[in-house]
């Protein structure tokens, strides 16, 4: 590799709480010449950057992309080719619905060195912040992370919805094969997701939690069942970013809250 080229660190910033970032990721922020950061990255983390580091916002929200993925690729290449150390800072983990693999392939094909630095993904972080274990002895021995981003009805399909890449979201398989589902980017499709899961055999009384702004000071957690969670979330005007958790593990949160309430009552 040409030694005059820089490198790109593709870094996970965690689910929202800035204290959940790894030490290695924080060091890369401190060392960076250029930082390209996403919408869900805590502004507090950018305070660790050098005063002379260039900060470039490239966030994406539903229906609004500040910078296209192609433009992000070009920007990474531009600064790395100029010998800069570039940090691509992403919410959660860069390899879990973070397009980190796409960026690495683009860079590698052009001779740019890169590294992955993992972060706490939303399924892990937001669930913990809401007191929900994704697995629990005797209740759940498996979980799956699924994206329902921009899901739309698939014409002529018997499997329900398709994602932005045109791949079918196999609710028919997921409904009964996995104990816990952690569904990203699905709030706008919540009613349809619930209907698909019930359609393919998940009981309508299955507990569901929706976690808005997980691990942050403005976190909200709503719970219900596949039958009523869409109505509950709609009434509360719950929005993005939010994670949906489907499964019996949601009941653990309820048990923990009951114990906490009992403890407070005894102390009071």
Catalytic site residue from 7, 60, 67, 172: 60
Q: What are the residues whose beta carbons fall under 8 Å from the beta carbon of 267, sequence distance 6 or more?
A: none
Tokens representing residue 176 in the block: 């009964």
Phi, psi of 129 (to 5 degrees): -65, -25
Decide the pairing of beta strands 220-225 and 168-170: unpaired
Decide the pairing of beta strands 85-90 and 34-37: parallel
Catalytic site residue from 17, 33, 161, 185: 185
Contact call for residues 16 and 40 (beta carbons, < 8 A): yes
Can 60 be counted among the known catalytic residues? yes
Catalytic site residue from 17, 33, 38, 93: 38
SS3 154: coil
**CA dist 167 → 159, 160, 172 (Å):** 10, 11, 14
Start-to-end CA span in the chain (Å): 67
Exposed/middle/buried for residue 117 (C-beta within 10 Å: 0-12, 13-18, 19+): buried
Can 38 be counted among the known catalytic residues? yes
Q: Which residue reads 């005894």 in tokens?
A: 266
SS3 212: strand
Per-residue 3-state assignment (H helix, E strand, C coil) for 8-55? EEEEECECCCHHHCCHHHHHHHHHCCEEEECCCCCHHHHCCCCCCCEE
Q: Show which residues are catalytic.
A: 38, 60, 185
């Amino acid at each position: 590799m040409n030694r005059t080229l820089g490198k790109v660190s593709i870094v996970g910033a965690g689910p929202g709480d800035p204290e959940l970032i790894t030490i290695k990721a924080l060091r890369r922020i401190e060392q960076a010449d250029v930082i390209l950061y996403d919408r869900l990255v805590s502004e507090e983390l950018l305070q660790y950057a050098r005063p002379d580091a260039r900060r470039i916002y490239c966030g994406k929200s539903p229906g609004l992309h500040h910078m296209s993925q192609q433009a992000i690729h070009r920007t990474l290449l531009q600064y790395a080719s100029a010998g800069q150390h570039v940090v691509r800072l992403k919410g959660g983990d860069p390899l879990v619905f973070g397009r980190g693999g796409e960026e690495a392939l683009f860079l590698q094909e052009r001779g740019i060195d890169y590294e992955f630095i993992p972060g706490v993904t939303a399924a892990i972080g937001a669930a913990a912040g809401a007191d929900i274990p994704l697995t629990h002895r005797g209740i759940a021995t498996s979980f799956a992370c699924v994206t329902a981003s921009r899901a739309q009805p698939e014409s002529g399909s018997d499997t329900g919805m398709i994602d932005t890449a045109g791949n079918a979201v196999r609710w028919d398989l997921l409904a009964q094969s996995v104990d816990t589902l952690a569904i990203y980017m699905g709030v706008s499709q919540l009613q349809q997701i619930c209907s698909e899961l019930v359609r393919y055999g998940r009981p309508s009384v299955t507990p569901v939690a929706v976690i808005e702004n997980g691990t942050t000071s403005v976190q909200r957690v709503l719970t219900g069942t596949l039958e009523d969670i869409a109505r509950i979330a709609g009434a509360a005007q719950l929005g993005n970013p939010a994670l949906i958790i489907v499964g019996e593990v949601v009941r653990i949160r309820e048990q923990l809250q009951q114990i906490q309430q009992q403890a407070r009552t005894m102390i009071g």
